[in-house]
Copies of this chain bind each other. A is one copy, B any other.
């Protein structure tokens, strides 16, 4: 029986016309065959996972799916952002083709953001598109990466540069799996939860500040609320702008600096959520220097990111011109236009916008933020 069995299962809907789908949030969902009713019919399912998560949950998912599909296959990828690349993606295609999988085959992404992004991209491309289901096993994936249909792999010259907008059939957020998450991964997930406050909902930021202890202690009710509210905000934004023509870019608050850190250190050194945590503090500082928020706002975010167990001091990416290296890396950000970096800034608590900033000001922020 689930440790959280007193929690009610909740649903958040992503409204995208014929591509709409539900996010199911609750305890004990992953191993329950009832979770997977009414998916597109197929003879074969393929579970894609990694060598860290598979030993914990693949067998449970396999058993839950066996009543729904004649064949349930597995492909296990090496764990980590460093493997979010083409050769690893190819392992999924190899498994599909070696097993004669047709274009009705349903893929199940069992893992964190990397597994979800790669499985989603594989589903987008295999025979030009097969259905897939997200079964996120990290807090970060549950509140952010598994929702909204962004899929991708990295290119040596930039993160998530090759990918697709491709929506899953369903997202299954089983809160029980968060109990086995390493503390560093828990904190990384908190970074994306904290993000939703400054960009969209200051009352949620208040709630996080009050409940950060309960979240770090993995209290089921606190986790349930944090996941649900995060998904609601993300659903509202994605429902208005699926392909990031405008509004959706605010969900990248902290990500421009964060991606530079991840890429500059080499993928896998810092977790994505760690880069975002530190990146949010830097983006808040930039907002303050642009005159959009006051110092108290920056201090408040800085304190919360730190309490969440996340880094607040940026790493040095170059011994000679650290700020220059950050700028160089940020110029290949997908939001950049004609070489001009576009930053997500907070222009008043609970509101975000995307704009450029003078290099000199950005350099000041980097210099003030790096160790």
- Enumerate A332-346 residues with CB–CB distance to B below 8 Å: 332, 334, 336-339
**A-side interface mostly:** mixed
Instruction: Report the nearest B residue to A96, measured CB to CB.
Output: B161
Contacts of A243 in B (CB 8 A): 128-129
Copies per complex of this chain: 2
Check A155 against B93 for contact (C-beta < 8 Å): yes
Q: B150 touching A128 by the CB < 8 A rule?
A: yes
Pairwise interchain contact A152-B164, C-beta atoms closer than 8 A: no
Which of B94, B100, B157, B164 meets A331, CB within 8 Å? Answer: B100
- Given A44-B338, A93-B155, A93-B162, output 5 extra A-B contacts at Cβ < 8 Å: A93-B161, A97-B332, A128-B164, A128-B165, A128-B334
Question: Chain B residues with Cβ under 8 A from A102's Cβ?
Answer: 334, 336-339
Known contacts A97-B157, A100-B332, A243-B129; A124/B164 CB under 8 A: yes
A sample of 11 inter-chain contacts (CB < 8 A) reads A93-B155, A93-B162, A100-B339, A102-B336, A124-B164, A125-B162, A125-B164, A127-B161, A128-B150, A128-B164, A129-B243
Contact of A164 among B157, B164, B334 (CB under 8 A): B164
Interface 1/0s, chain A 25-61, versus B by CB < 8 A? Answer: 0000000000000000001100000000000000000
A104 within 8 A of B: yes
